[in-house]
Amino acid sequence: MQQSFHTSYGPWALVTGASSGIGAEFARQLAARGLNVVLVARRAQRLDALATELRAASGVEVLPVPLDLLAPGALARLRDAVGARPIGLLVNNAGSASVGSFVDCDIEQELRLLDLNTRVPLALARAFAPGMVERGAGGIVFLASLIAFRGTPYSGNYAASKAWNLVMAESIGPELEEHGVDVLALCPGFTDTEMLDVVRPGLAGIPALRTMQPDAVVRDALASLGRRRAVIPGIWNKILHRFTELLGREGGARFSGGVTRRLVPPD
C-alpha cells in the first residue's frame, strides 16, 4: 500500500526562497496537503504575510525564518531556528540567475550565484538528509532548470549551476532511496516569477516561447516526487527539451544561446 503524502514527507517541510514565486507556491501546496512549513527567505514581511495566509487556509503550523542564506553562520542559525522539528521534505528553491556576456560579467555576482545555487543546497541536503534516513522517510527537491541539460551561452554560470542540481539529484537519489528518502530534480522552463522580470522585455520578441505559472510547476513536481528522479513540467517544455536533444549537445547549446542572447538586457 502506498504511504500517504504526510507519512512520506511530513510532519515538517522546509522551503527556501519561500517569499515569492515557485517557493511560495510550494509552501501553499504543501500546507494544503497538511504539512507544517518552515519558510526561509530574506524578506521578513513577505514571509510573515505568507505564514498568516497558510495558517488561515490550511490550519498548519508555520515557522517563518527571515535569513540570508549566504550570510556567515546562516546554516547554524537556520538549524537553531528549526530546533527539534523533524524536517521530512526539503525544497531547495532559493537561487538567482544571470544573463549577459561572460567577459563582461560581474565576477563577484557570479560567485554569489554559484554559492546560492550549489553550495547552499548541498549544505542543506547534508544537514537534513541524516534525519530523514534515520526515520526511513523523506524527500529532497533540487531546483534545476530546462537549461540544466546543455550548455547555454550568455547564461553559462547559471546553466552550469542548474546542471549541478540535476546531477546531484541523479547522484544521491539512488543512495537515499535505499533508506526511504526520495530525491527529485525539478527542471522548469520559463516560469512567471520575479526572477523572470530581468529578461521579460526580451520574451516579447520570441513569440514561440511559453511561460508556465508557478502553481502548475509545483503540481507537476509534487506528482513526480517518489516516482521519478527528474521532471520537466509542462508539455511545451518537454517538446522543447526533445527538440534540443535532437540537435545534439553542441547544436542544442547553440540554439539555447541564440534564445538567451535575445534576452540580454540592453546596456
Spell out the domain ranges in the chain.
5-261
- Say yes or no to pLDDT of 205 above 60: no
Confidence of residue 133 (pLDDT cuts 50, 70, 90): very high
- Say yes or no to pLDDT of 2 above 70: no
- Say yes or no to pLDDT of 140 above 80: yes
The per-residue pLDDT for 214 is 96
What would the grid cell of residue 110 be? 557570479
Confidence of residue 22 (pLDDT cuts 50, 70, 90): very high
What would the grid cell of residue 190 be? 520559463
Confidence of residue 196 (pLDDT cuts 50, 70, 90): low
The per-residue pLDDT for 210 is 75
The per-residue pLDDT for 1 is 34
- Scan for cell 526580451, then name that residue: 202
Q: Alpha-carbon distance 18 to 260, whole Å?
A: 26
> Which has the higher per-residue pLDDT, 43 or 208?
43
Q: Which helix (H) or strand (E) holds 219?
A: helix 214-224
Give catalytic status of residue 158 as yes or no.
Answer: yes
The per-residue pLDDT for 199 is 60
Give the SS3 label for residue 191: strand
Confidence of residue 211 (pLDDT cuts 50, 70, 90): confident
Specify the DSSP class assigned to residue 76.
Answer: H
The alpha carbon of 30 is separated from its chain's Cα centroid by a whole number of angstroms, namely 14
Of 26-40, 98-112, 142-156, 187-201, the least confident: 187-201
- Say yes or no to pLDDT of 212 above 50: yes
Terminal alpha carbon distance of the chain: 58
The answer to whether 100 touches 264, Cβ cutoff 8 Å, is: yes
pTM of the model: 0.93
- Scan for cell 503540481, then name that residue: 219
The per-residue pLDDT for 95 is 95
The per-residue pLDDT for 198 is 61
- Residue range 154-188, pLDDT digits in tens: 999 999 999 999 999 999 999 999 999 999 999 99
Sequence-distant (≥ 6) Cβ neighbours of residue 261 within 8 angstroms? 153, 154
The alpha carbon of 34 is separated from its chain's Cα centroid by a whole number of angstroms, namely 21
Give strand pairing partners of 65: 40
- Nearest by Cα to 220 from 238, 207, 208: 238
Which CATH topology does 5-261 take? Rossmann fold (3.40.50)
Tell me which of 9, 154, 162, 238 is the catalytic residue. 162
Give the SS3 label for residue 63: strand
Helices first, then strands: H and E counts in the chain: 11, 7
The per-residue pLDDT for 207 is 52
